Amino acid sequence: MIVASMVVGTSVNAIARNGMLRNRRAVDVAQLYSLDRVFPEVTTAEVADLIQNDAATVVDVRKSEAFEAGSIPGAINIPPIASAHERRSRLSEVKKQQRIVVFCESWRCRWADRVADSLILDGYRQVAVYRAGWEEWKNRGEQ
């Protein structure tokens, strides 16, 4: 009886007008914690082109100390430990439909995905990851 009640309750909630499957935020949160989201990736040349054409906001997710020591020109620092309020404050000028490129130290760092997930939950839809990151950027002499 308990199992049947749970099945009926979940089914009704899922299809109800304001149920969990019709609530975009609830679906995003469920996906964030249950699925590995795959983000589009950009190359060093693409990042340079996006910056030159002012076609994307670049987000550096490394710790503040690393960011202050050097970063991609114009990047905004949003470490993975930043609160939702802090993240939204730093991106307050960025429109939800604008392209955002997130990067970390190198391809070994997964913080970019973590922050990119948070940005998706905040309503940004054009989020890409620059996997090669700061290591590749600085080694190419483009500081």
Spell out the domain ranges in the chain: 2-34, 44-139
Contacts of 33-38 with C-beta under 8 Å, sequence gap 24+, read: 37/113, 37/116, 37/117, 37/120
Domain 44-139 superfamily per CATH: Rhodanese-like domain (3.40.250.10)
CA 109 remoteness from chain centre: 14
Residue 58, Cβ neighbours under 10 Å: how many? 20
User: What is residue 143's predicted lDDT score, i.e. its pLDDT?
Assistant: 46
The percentage of residues in the chain with a pLDDT greater than 90, rounded to a whole number, is: 66
Residues of the chain with pLDDT > 70, as a percent, come to 73
Helix (H) or strand (E) holding 134: helix 133-139
**pLDDT of 9-65, one tens digit each?**
565 566 666 665 667 666 666 655 555 668 999 999 999 999 999 999 999 999 999
Count H helices and E strands in the chain, helices first.
7, 4
Looking at residue 140, its pLDDT comes to 86
